[in-house]
Structure 1
Amino acid sequence: MSRFTSFQQFYPYYLQEHADARCRLMHYIGSSLVLLVLVFILLTGAWLWLLSLPVIGYGFAWFGHMVFEHNKPATFQYPWYSLAADWVMYKDFLTGQLPAKLAQAGISQG
């Protein structure tokens, strides 16, 4: 992997590492569950559940990489860019912007 000096440079690479829609789905499931658990925590004050958030979020994502993408998650080399990119990809998915951004990154949607 080359060294990225900005998030703008990193994000297309991140999308290329998530070309398989099933891997992206695993990310969306993990991110959605993280948000649901956060709401649960805020409503109940069960702060110990905060410890589960990385397990939930990364667990689903890493499963997607292992089973569908067969690649090493970018988290290990670019932890902060990767975390931010995961939420940007989730936002792009929810707002319908993802197909255009995948196309810009050279990913066909078969």
Structure 2
Amino acid sequence: MNFRSLDDFWAFYMTQHSKPSTRRWHFVGTLGAILIFIYSLLFNWRFFLLVPISGYGFAWYSHFFVERNVPATFGHPFWSFICDFKMFGLMISGQMDREMKRLGKRPVLQPF
């Protein structure tokens, strides 16, 4: 798929993250990656190796076993990286449900 803009990709990206638990796993992975990154800067640079393992590990788990699709990272790594942080920001600010409604996606109710 070819996308003309980040906004076009964002709409597609959100279809790939339709389940709340998928987004929660992404949140955990992104938060873990941020914390490990900070720790590695402050204390031990060898922990840098764990940053992508945390960030992508939780996200890919959610795609394969929760959402049951292929991670968008495989086809569009740069835009996926940006959208991961956009989604993280929307979740931390409590705006994710509103964004899903804006995009015309009804939140799927399910347990974590």
**TM-score, scaled to structure 1:** 0.92
Render the CA deviation track for 1:69-105: whole Å, top value 9, x for unaligned: 0000000111100010000000011112211211122
In the alignment, is the contact (CA less than 8 A) between 1:34 and 1:56 conserved in 2? yes
CA RMSD of aligned residues (A): 1.0
The 5 Å alignment of 1:17-96 reads: 17-44=16-43, 46-96=44-94
Amino acid at match of 1:57: G
Partner residue, 1:107: 105
1-side partners of 2:17 and 2:92: how far apart?
16
Question: Offset at 1:106?
Answer: 2.1
Amino acid at match of 2:67: E
Amino acid at match of 1:94: I
Amino acid at match of 1:69: E
**TM-score, scaled to structure 2:** 0.91
| Moved beyond 2 Å, runs of 4+ | none
Partner residue, 1:5: 4
Mean CA deviation greater in 9-18 or 95-104: 95-104
Amino acid at match of 1:48: R
Question: Offset at 1:42?
Answer: 2.1
| Gapped regions of structure 1 (runs ≥ 5) | none
Question: Offset at 1:50?
Answer: 0.8
Equivalent pairs counted in the alignment come to 108
Amino acid at match of 1:84: I
